[in-house]
Chains A and B, each alone.
Chain A
């Protein structure tokens, strides 16, 4: 008698535990997306008259400025991902493998500190530094290196730098955790068997860290392609970021149907890029993101 009761109680506990999670997924992710998808298939033929069809998507495909923006967003995000990996890997390697026990914790914490400040504040920080009347420009003027103020905002390099700065953490964290799990013996074995530093890096450390690398790249790419604040604030109005187009459709043109379609195009596009990345690196989603 008592066993089924206990089992029911356990099931109930499980259901209750999962409830917030399930609700979160359902209410904040699944439902809005279904709504958005339905919305994206609607088109206005006359005031208050709608028809269903793929016209919003066709519009997107026919307007080069839209898909050029999308491609640009994609390429710049790939560049950001690559730079974040290039910067993040040595940092993660240092934290995980070279730093001593105590410094390790401190360094890791130091890396996380920027996360305590909001995106917006960080972007404004950059603006303070880089604008025409900003810290760097004034300092250069004061020291006599330049004589007219220079504007360092509103160009692609600044956008890329700002994005790398915001996302590099999300590269470092999974990399540190995979590299941390790597036994030092393995690296020493790599040398002992005759490998030089480069061989050990290429044949042992990188393949071992691959799940972490791919996980970091996916997260960083998604964050970068979907970011809004940094490109707008550092790149200005003509930074041509795809999220800006979506915002435009929703807010400026009040064309929700088209905005929803754009949102789906972005989702599809980033998913395809991630899928291609996984295929090329021979990893699966479960061996990378799910693991770390």
Chain B
């Protein structure tokens, strides 16, 4: 009993896959604890679908091994693996009604008629669509189809459920609603979900753990907070969440801090971390999140208005009002735009486009790679 708790639902070790000269997946390893929501986040074409198809058994890896509930599945054909998949376009069977769609898998594994009936109605109950059993697929809304596709897999009680960008085809509003719903469904079924997406907000909102993938490799695996606040690579810093990015040359390096002379005409100081190997004279990139930038209306005296360390002067180009998440776009002296979060109160002393401002941030809040 004790051991079954520690065995992960899905573990991949060093799996790779090549298509001709394209290295679609490059020695990826990970380990997913039971009952968690795991996301794989990466830009288009980075190999997410390929990775998932290998787990489902539709492609075989060139190297490495895949373990489900502790045992290798490489020799097991797709229809015998207890991994179910929600496809990008859902792939509900249009010639069957909802009931038959859900019953299909149960019929394949030879359940009895009464058993099937009971299970189908149970799962429809759980996804809160008890009355759609006799509908045809084309009579369902986008969100309902989504839930049926999940129910069709969950009724088989899989060890792992794979979801390949299932929200991709939905409109924005429904996507927002489905994000929360998916998370709730995962909680309810208490099954491991592996969710693929290129949308970082989906991954951050829903997941217990996120793996950031780029060009076939996993850049970093961690909790959403961890990835957001402590990215381990420039790619993760740039891809997860919004960031302002500057690049330049390292001009000073101490044991605690690293200072970069940015091309934009100011110096940026960050606390040194293990990730930054750059020495003096090396090229480096600095990332600062919009919410870490303080915006102050500037002293109008032009002689005082110069860039200093971690401080930039500029003019407000435009305000992006979005309630509590409002932003300003500030144009610096070289004409580049910088994003920063501000609070707009609606009163007279709110900043306005054209105002001179000073942007600053703490060294601890900027990241250097």
A residues within 8 Å of B by Cβ?
183, 185-186, 188-196, 199, 203-204, 207-208, 210
A206: nearest chain-B partner, CB-CB: B95
Complex CA gap A210/B94 in Å reads 12
Q: State which residues 70-115 of B face A: CB under 8 Å.
A: 77-80, 83-85, 87-91, 93-96, 104-105, 107-109
Which residues of the partner chain B approach A186 to less than 8 Å between Cβ atoms?
A: 91, 93
A193 and B156 in contact, given A188-B87, A199-B108, A203-B104 (Cβ under 8 angstroms)? yes
B93: nearest chain-A partner, CB-CB: A204
Is there an interface contact between B89 and A183, defined as CB atoms closer than 8 Å?
Answer: yes
Distance in Å: Cβ of B283 to nearest Cβ of chain A: 43
Distance in Å: Cβ of B308 to nearest Cβ of chain A: 56
**Could you say which of A188, A191, A193 has the most chain B C-beta atoms within 10 Å of its C-beta?**
A193
Distance in Å: Cβ of A203 to nearest Cβ of chain B: 7
Per DSSP, chain B at the interface is: mixed
Q: Is B153 an interface residue (CB 8 A)?
A: yes
Is there an interface contact between A194 and B89, defined as CB atoms closer than 8 Å?
Answer: no
Distance in Å: Cβ of A182 to nearest Cβ of chain B: 10
Complex CA gap A33/B212 in Å reads 71
**Could you say which of A188, A196, A199, A204 has the most chain B C-beta atoms within 10 Å of its C-beta?**
A188
Across the interface, A192 reaches (CB within 8 A) one of B79, B89, B96, namely: B79
A189 and B87 in contact, given A194-B156, A208-B95, A210-B95 (Cβ under 8 angstroms)? yes
Our count of residue pairs bridging A and B at CB distance below 8 angstroms stands at 62
A193 and B104 in contact, given A208-B94, A208-B95 (Cβ under 8 angstroms)? yes
Q: Is B30 an interface residue (CB 8 A)?
A: no
A185 and B89 in contact, given A192-B84, A196-B79 (Cβ under 8 angstroms)? yes
Which residues of the partner chain A approach B321 to less than 8 Å between Cβ atoms?
A: none
Q: Which 4 A-B pairs have the closest CB atoms?
A: A193-B105, A194-B108, A185-B91, A189-B91
B83: nearest chain-A partner, CB-CB: A192
Q: Is B58 an interface residue (CB 8 A)?
A: yes
A195: nearest chain-B partner, CB-CB: B108
Which residues of the partner chain B approach A204 to less than 8 Å between Cβ atoms?
A: 93
24 A-B pairs with CB atoms under 8 Å apart are: A183-B89, A183-B91, A185-B88, A185-B89, A185-B91, A188-B85, A189-B85, A190-B93, A191-B58, A192-B79, A192-B83, A192-B85, A193-B79, A193-B104, A194-B105, A194-B109, A194-B156, A195-B105, A196-B79, A196-B108, A204-B93, A207-B93, A207-B96, A210-B95
Which residues of the partner chain A approach B217 to less than 8 Å between Cβ atoms?
A: none
Distance in Å: Cβ of A100 to nearest Cβ of chain B: 13
Complex CA gap A185/B89 in Å reads 8
Complex CA gap A173/B337 in Å reads 57
Q: Is B152 an interface residue (CB 8 A)?
A: yes
Is there an interface contact between A194 and B79, defined as CB atoms closer than 8 Å?
Answer: yes
Which residues of the partner chain A approach B153 to less than 8 Å between Cβ atoms?
A: 193
Complex CA gap A192/B82 in Å reads 9
